[in-house]
Structure 1
């Protein structure tokens, strides 16, 4: 696999990465102070921004891999009944690989049985993904009552462009790459969505 770290926080653990803001600061998540009613405008903006970034980074003919991982105490497993497999059911005939990893978050792995369980779907074209419900499940990660969500971490890897897309929650997403050149078009075309907090570093990559 290309030289990209598949672990959070993607932006800070990869030399070449961009961080984008999804949920707008000037729109509240809630319609009321009791936090009982969601402001759908907030989630619609987050979805629109995520789709714009995704479509700028991935073309229909690009070859991709989908990686999904969960933390395990040695007993917890990725099961075929997990929502991940419902989301990606159209790809059920593709190459599927289950693996275990102890080379990420090593400071948290206190016992030998602790590991990260990962499933990878390979040989997929972007055109085969129904991306909207996938993005929605990631955006709603902290709001389970809005609909089904993913319990683990999802990474979509563009094998042709050598970059990786990771939407961590409603606040934002990271795109990392093997080189800064793989990110240059995305940096230019989606510049208005780059997170202000880290923008100085991102600007320095392309000076």
Structure 2
């Protein structure tokens, strides 16, 4: 099954872009960063260690090593002529075997935020890799995503989505503040809701609770 068919079957009419939680009816928004201290937000700070721990724990709970997944990256092109060699480090740096990269697909689609593209000059390059969870160095990858606004390298500022084919879920860490988990069915993520209930973002808790009552 390719990504297009999977999305049509399980997430009809959903565009892969943030914020997933607000664009789909079944989902959970988890808080990753708590007790932020701007005076102590470096690489080894308690704050960032806590962010990493939550992101990695949620990912591991959701994806077993042998699960087939789509790893999808949106690379937004603002017409500045950026090369793809640098962009593709998202994959080459965080994939275990170079042979897996032969499966990497690239499509160009309309800019995923059309409201910000009045002149029509922007577009989005979508990179899609179908693989197993075990093919990805997901711990350093997740850390790099969490680092995007922290002034710490390595960092990844493109949106990266992990789509679990068996579980019919999509997982997206948007930055150090939090992550979205959406699913084709509430049953698919009920276990995550109960196990990590304390990590749910309080701002959206009432709406999330209503899904699982």
TM-score over 0.5 for the alignment?
yes
Given that residues 102 and 109 in structure 1 are in contact (C-alpha distance below 8 angstroms), is that contact kept between their aligned partners in structure 2?
no
Task: Work out which of the residue numbers 145, 166, 175 in structure 2 matches 1:169.
Answer: 175
The more displaced of 131-140 and 146-155 is: 146-155
Unmatched segments (≥5 aa) in structure 2: 1-5
Deviation at 1:85, TM superposition (A): 3.1
| 1:10 aligns to 2:17 (yes or no) | no
Deviation at 1:88, TM superposition (A): 2.6
Deviation at 1:92, TM superposition (A): 3.4
| 1:204 aligns to 2:210 (yes or no) | yes
Could you say if the C-alpha distance between residues 68 and 195 of structure 1 is closer, same or farther in structure 2, counting changes exceeding 3 Å? Answer: same
Alignment size in residue pairs? 200
Unmatched segments (≥5 aa) in structure 1: none
| 1:135 aligns to 2:142 (yes or no) | yes
| Two-structure CA RMSD over aligned residues (Å) | 2.0
Q: For residues 89 and 202 of structure 1, what CA distance do their matches in structure 2 show?
A: 34
Given that residues 29 and 200 in structure 2 are in contact (C-alpha distance below 8 angstroms), is that contact kept between their aligned partners in structure 1?
yes
Deviation at 1:29, TM superposition (A): 4.2
Listed one character per residue, the Cα deviations across residues 51-71 of structure 1 (whole Å, up to 9, x for unaligned) are 111111111121001101122
Given that residues 95 and 137 in structure 2 are in contact (C-alpha distance below 8 angstroms), is that contact kept between their aligned partners in structure 1?
no
Could you say if the C-alpha distance between residues 125 and 85 of structure 1 is closer, same or farther in structure 2, counting changes exceeding 3 Å? Answer: closer
| 1:72 aligns to 2:100 (yes or no) | no
Q: For residues 178 and 205 of structure 2, what CA distance do their matches in structure 1 show?
A: 14
Given that residues 28 and 39 in structure 1 are in contact (C-alpha distance below 8 angstroms), is that contact kept between their aligned partners in structure 2?
no
Listed one character per residue, the Cα deviations across residues 121-152 of structure 1 (whole Å, up to 9, x for unaligned) are 11x111222111111101110123x2121131
Listed one character per residue, the Cα deviations across residues 24-80 of structure 1 (whole Å, up to 9, x for unaligned) are 13x52423xxx8x66611011111111111111111121001101122134545613
With normalisation by structure 2, the TM-score equals 0.85
With normalisation by structure 1, the TM-score equals 0.87
Task: Work out which of the residue numbers 56, 60, 70 in structure 2 matches 1:55.
Answer: 60
Q: For residues 179 and 142 of structure 1, what CA distance do their matches in structure 2 show?
A: 32
